[in-house]
Amino acid sequence: MVTKLKGRHFLSCDSWSKQELDTVFETAFDLKRKFAVGEPTRYLPDKTLFMIFFEQSTRTRNSMEAGMTQLGGHAHDLTADKMQLSHGESAKDTAIILSRMGHGIASRNCFYGIGQKYLAEMAVHSSRPVMSLQDDIYHPFQGMADLMTIFEYFGRNVNGLKVTISWAYADTHSKPLSVPQTQALLFPRYGMDVTIAHPKEFPLSKHIVQKAQQNARQGGGTLRFTNDMDEAFQGAQIVIPKNWGGFGHYDVREYLDNEEACQTEMTANLEKYHDWICDERRIRLADKNVKLMHALPADRNHEVTDAVLDNEQISIVYDEAENRLHTAKAIMALTM
């Protein structure tokens, strides 16, 4: 167990060693047990976490805020329009001031080409740990909850576990790449055999794919890609149908310079793939004991049908959502 994590930033799972991540999981399982029996875990008495949300949130906001309360501290729920950020205050100034007033800073900023850089700049200037609540590249808290859930259902030795991460149709908004990219980076480090399916117009970022392949080689897992959703589901023990935008198709500078045109093209490409849905037919292609995961909120009957999502023999999405609380508490307790 690694215990010297106080003060560490948590901007991606990839920036922590596997041994450090294992410490988080051991702590999270202990916190979950104590939560179940009502045992207090006031590890952060009188400490303050500042949360800055540039986008909406349900699981992330509430897992962090409830987690801080259960750890004996308090979370300030901030939005950019309530701060001087809306008047152009820099990430540097925000980080310096908040880190002098509290004990941790957590932020969600998913704007493509901007979010991760903003968080990284805060981390440079903050004297307290900075945590990514999701950005345009990574969603580390989601990745940790996903892996904790997998451990609960399949045990800690997940070598060779067949996991399919598949793009799926949704029309609500252009969703970030951060969830599938975090999973692609994290799961092969633990020896899983990961298949990623997506239409050719919706790839992951090239530099993330390269790093994920390196992680697979080092961790003993495998990583393969296909443009065929049916093929990806064949024999899968876990399926994760999730929409993401076509940002990976563009260079960041190209997108930022031509955002409107790129968004128009992504919308047109999206309409070609209404049939990319996790339904009962596709579930039957997977392993007979397959489990469905999703970061939620699911775009019901677009990404995944109600019949699959609400099937208690298949769907473990609510366990996955609950584990956002326990992994968040573990990371805050260890770093703050």
Among 101, 102, 143, 94, CA closest to 123: 94
Going from the first residue of the chain to its last (336 residues), give the mean pLDDT of each consecutive group of 10, the final group possibly shorter.
Answer: 91 97 98 98 98 88 96 90 67 95 96 94 98 97 98 98 98 89 98 98 97 98 98 98 94 91 93 97 98 96 98 98 98 98
Tell the CATH topology of 142-321. Answer: Rossmann fold (3.40.50)
pLDDT per residue as tens digits for the range 200-259: 999 999 999 999 999 999 999 999 999 999 999 999 999 999 999 999 999 898 999 999
**Dist CA 225 CA 197 (whole Å):** 6
Backbone φ and ψ of 325, nearest 5°: -65, -50
pLDDT on residue 82 = 64
Rg (CA), the chain: 19
pLDDT on residue 8 = 97
**Dist CA 29 CA 14 (whole Å):** 21
Rounded (10°) angle between helices 140-154 and 59-70: 80
First to last CA, the chain: 17
pLDDT on residue 28 = 98
pLDDT on residue 85 = 58
Alpha helices in the chain (DSSP H): 18-37, 59-70, 91-101, 115-125, 140-154, 178-186, 206-219, 229-233, 252-257, 259-270, 280-283, 306-309, 317-335
Exposed/middle/buried for 218, CB within 10 Å: 0-12, 13-18, 19+?
exposed
pLDDT on residue 78 = 84
Paired tokens of 222: 């495998």
Asked, colleague to colleague, whether 13-139+323-335 and 142-321 share their fold, the answer is yes
pLDDT on residue 84 = 57
Among 84, 97, 95, 90, CA closest to 11: 95
Q: Which residues of 157-189 are buried (b: 16+ CB within 10 A; e: fewer)?
A: ebeebbbbbbbbbbeeebbbbbbbbbbbbbbbb
Paired tokens of 148: 């904790």
How far, CA to CA in Å, does 145 sit from each of 112, 181, 294, 321? 24, 15, 11, 7
**Dist CA 140 CA 183 (whole Å):** 9
Paired tokens of 219: 């961790």
Superfamily of domain 13-139+323-335: Aspartate/ornithine carbamoyltransferase (3.40.50.1370)
pLDDT on residue 3 = 79
pLDDT on residue 205 = 97
How far, CA to CA in Å, does 259 sit from each of 134, 254, 272, 326? 21, 8, 21, 37
pLDDT on residue 87 = 57
Ranges of each domain in the chain: 13-139+323-335, 142-321
